[in-house]
Chain A
């Protein structure tokens, strides 16, 4: 059973979080993500949760990490400038393996840029923004329905892999209103229990240690310093640092094909579009307008970690066309994984690619 609603993307994201059992929201208002905070402020107290508007985004992500250690599913929502402020604590969450969900409704950057216009300029920042070698998970919704379902999925991934998970939506998806079928029940996963309380950070062959929630008597020491299996700082031992950071990195990278979600259309075509987020909708419209031309489409729902398996779905591909609302950030990542030419179709300024524009470029390669 399900019910039908007509929601904005941001509302769907907040409702998805509530359905996923999110009971803590700490954040700071920023256009165009504010509707998520507003919706959580209204709904969380009714659901027995806590909403707190912190003094800045740094405090927002810090309170989310704290709440996560206290056993709550926790999230924050922001946009470009706030996302930049959060970077240090995102690194802390990765180092301490704290599950949390960070929603970034991207706007035009750099700096204050275009607060009310769409952009996808934070796609590399979420992967490489925090210092050190990190590997987070980033999901990109392209519809209001996905704002809901991917938010639920993000909480599950965060708890399974003990990493911060990003929802890298954009202003168009965040503010677009669409019909959405809301399921009555969503599937939820749980945090792994601690196996050896004396070594709470010791991981098995899946590289993921159990989660020692605060207040359960584990007396766990959580530190952003390089730490050993007990959680104690161990900063001058090169082997220890290598072992820890490699594990944190491989924990996500080794399962990238399992995490990776994507959709394909016309897998045997020669010209293939790759897209994620709002530009995917322009591509879909173009495919709809020109059904006679065999054009493939790979829509990424997971951008980080990038599972290269998705590219082998198109064995006949001769060219990849990649429209993005930035100057070609992810198309460079695709180039690392394929010998087929990748043509970036960048667009910044806040407007989406027009299907007509995309068709004109496509015609050159047909």
Chain B
């Protein structure tokens, strides 16, 4: 595979901790970008601030590492000014759901032709493990020392409600499915949103009883259910446990999109 050709090899090894899932998402993204046949010269990676947002710095294309939460707004400018560029936004849960929530829902509403990949590690990793809008109820972080008391954000439902053309959720374990989902996202006209649950052993796992990297992967593996199965179970009148992670393609449609290459 030639995903390796897309890497800035002189910058590796990267800054992420051992076992961090962000690197896996970069692999899957680059594999999908390579598969779809985009050229390095007309692909732009945009990101905000946070662990996830360091990713474009390791990709050998034009890359824009912007201010906290504003990645989608910057990407909107790039895409509308030159629709011939393929724009991928790599962002994190704090970046996208907290400070950048407004830009996110409006990009979904505009259905602008971007692919947004959210590396959701359910914590603010770079600043040392503070609670984020996606930290599940009861989970520990440095700012939720007695367990988070706020309900967590379901980003895929948000994107769906706001009007994105493609919405999917996978985890850092399901690499093949994730690559396929990113491929579908890249080929979708309009906003494609792919949420990836990734493990954060240093700041999330350590405080929440996942002793090793593989423990958190195991948790994601055993607690995830495909959307089709979840729908079927619900139809049959079964209650899904609250911590179930619903994976798969949440929505795929072709609403009018903006900034599509002519």
Instruction: Please tell me whether chains A and B touch each other in their complex, using a CB distance cut-off of 8 A.
Output: yes
- Residues of A that sit less than 8 Å from B by CB: 23-24, 26, 50, 52, 54-56, 58-59, 62-72, 74, 88-89, 92, 212, 214-225, 232-233
Residues of chain B within 8 A (CB-CB) of A50 are 80-81
9 inter-chain pairs at a CB distance below 8 angstroms, sorted by A residue, are A55-B73, A62-B66, A62-B74, A62-B77, A71-B82, A214-B64, A215-B62, A219-B61, A219-B63
Instruction: Contact check, A72 vs B81: say whether CB atoms are below 8 A apart.
Output: yes
The number of chain B residues with a CB under 8 A from chain A is 34
Residue B42 lies at the interface, judged by CB distance under 8 Å to chain A: yes
Instruction: Contact check, B76 vs A54: say whether CB atoms are below 8 A apart.
Output: yes
Which A residue's beta carbon lies closest to that of B49? A224
**Chain B interface SS verdict (over half):** helix
Instruction: Contact check, B61 vs A70: say whether CB atoms are below 8 A apart.
Output: no
Residues of chain A within 8 A (CB-CB) of B75 are 66
Residue B251 lies at the interface, judged by CB distance under 8 Å to chain A: no
Residues of chain B within 8 A (CB-CB) of A63 are 73-74, 76-77, 80
Residues of chain A within 8 A (CB-CB) of B85 are 70, 214-215
Q: Shortest CB–CB separation between residue B4 and chain A, in angstroms? A: 15
Residue B23 lies at the interface, judged by CB distance under 8 Å to chain A: no
Please measure, in the bound complex, the distance between the C-alpha atom of A236 and the C-alpha atom of B242, giving whole angstroms: 43
Instruction: Contact check, B82 vs A70: say whether CB atoms are below 8 A apart.
Output: yes
Q: Shortest CB–CB separation between residue B206 and chain A, in angstroms? A: 24
Please measure, in the bound complex, the distance between the C-alpha atom of A69 and the C-alpha atom of B61, giving whole angstroms: 13
Instruction: Contact check, A66 vs B74: say whether CB atoms are below 8 A apart.
Output: yes
Instruction: Contact check, A217 vs B41: say whether CB atoms are below 8 A apart.
Output: yes
Please measure, in the bound complex, the distance between the C-alpha atom of A222 and the C-alpha atom of B258, giving whole angstroms: 25
Residue B67 lies at the interface, judged by CB distance under 8 Å to chain A: yes
Instruction: Contact check, A69 vs B78: say whether CB atoms are below 8 A apart.
Output: yes
Instruction: Contact check, A88 vs B77: say whether CB atoms are below 8 A apart.
Output: no
Instruction: Contact check, A55 vs B84: say whether CB atoms are below 8 A apart.
Output: no
Residues of chain B within 8 A (CB-CB) of A52 are 76-77, 80
Q: Mark B1-45, 1 if CB is under 8 A from A, else 0.
A: 000000010010000000000000000000000000000111010
Please measure, in the bound complex, the distance between the C-alpha atom of A88 and the C-alpha atom of B44, giving whole angstroms: 22
Please measure, in the bound complex, the distance between the C-alpha atom of A224 and the C-alpha atom of B47, giving whole angstroms: 11
Residue B51 lies at the interface, judged by CB distance under 8 Å to chain A: no
Looking at B64, B77, B85, the one whose CB has the most chain A CB atoms below 10 A away is: B77
User: B65: which of A212, A218, A219, A222 is its contact (CB, 8 Å)?
Assistant: A222
Instruction: Contact check, B57 vs A218: say whether CB atoms are below 8 A apart.
Output: no
Instruction: Contact check, A67 vs B78: say whether CB atoms are below 8 A apart.
Output: yes
Residues of chain A within 8 A (CB-CB) of B40 are 217, 219
Please measure, in the bound complex, the distance between the C-alpha atom of A76 and the C-alpha atom of B80, giving whole angstroms: 15
Instruction: Contact check, A232 vs B76: say whether CB atoms are below 8 A apart.
Output: no
Residues of chain A within 8 A (CB-CB) of B41 are 215-217, 219
Closest CB pairs A-B (n = 8): A66-B77, A63-B77, A67-B81, A62-B73, A59-B73, A70-B81, A223-B65, A217-B41
Q: Mark B142-185, 1 if CB is under 8 A from A, else 0.
A: 00000000000000000000000000000000000000000000
Please measure, in the bound complex, the distance between the C-alpha atom of A333 and the C-alpha atom of B79, giving whole angstroms: 41
Residues of chain B within 8 A (CB-CB) of A26 are 76-77
Instruction: Contact check, A54 vs B73: say whether CB atoms are below 8 A apart.
Output: yes
Instruction: Contact check, A66 vs B81: say whether CB atoms are below 8 A apart.
Output: yes
In the complex, given contacts A52-B77, A89-B67, what are 7 additional A-B residue pairs having Cβ atoms less than 8 angstroms apart?
Answer: A26-B76, A59-B70, A215-B41, A215-B82, A220-B62, A221-B63, A223-B57
Q: Shortest CB–CB separation between residue B55 and chain A, in angstroms? A: 11
Instruction: Contact check, A214 vs B65: say whether CB atoms are below 8 A apart.
Output: no
Q: Shortest CB–CB separation between residue A21 and chain B, in angstroms? A: 13
